[in-house]
Amino acid sequence: MKHVVGPWIVGSYDDGVVFGGDAYAIARVIEPIDRPHAKARADANARLIAAAPELLAALIDLLYQSKLSQDEGGWDFEQAETAIAKATGMTANNH
């Protein structure tokens, strides 16, 4: 199954809630309030989650363009392929 289409955004009315492109909440970041910097950490994690679809698309495109141009440039394609596989639920080299 494919993830909810982006862009994903962090809601402005309820801290830590990430909404998908369909306007439904897809994630809520919970951080114990007794931890130092709990709100800032929850906000940072929510922003990272919200960026996930764009990060995934950029990594897939970068990997494709690098392979297409045969410019390895010292990049570890295996690491990128593993990250893409983890995000998509597919096996590496099968995306």
Q: What is the pLDDT of residues 13-69, one digit of tens each?
A: 657 889 998 888 999 998 887 888 888 888 889 999 999 999 999 999 988 888 777
> By the 8 A CB rule, do 49 and 29 touch?
yes
Tell me how far apart the alpha carbons of residues 53 and 1 are, in angstroms, rounded to a whole number. Answer: 14
- Axis crossing angle, helix 38-68 with helix 77-88, rounded to the nearest 10: 120
What backbone phi and psi angles, to 5 degrees, belong to 10? -90, 125
pTM: 0.78
Q: Is the pLDDT of residue 91 over 80?
A: no
Q: Give the residue with greater pLDDT, 66 vs 70.
A: 66
Helix (H) or strand (E) holding 10: strand 9-10
Q: What is the pLDDT of residue 84?
A: 92
Range 73-78 average pLDDT: 72
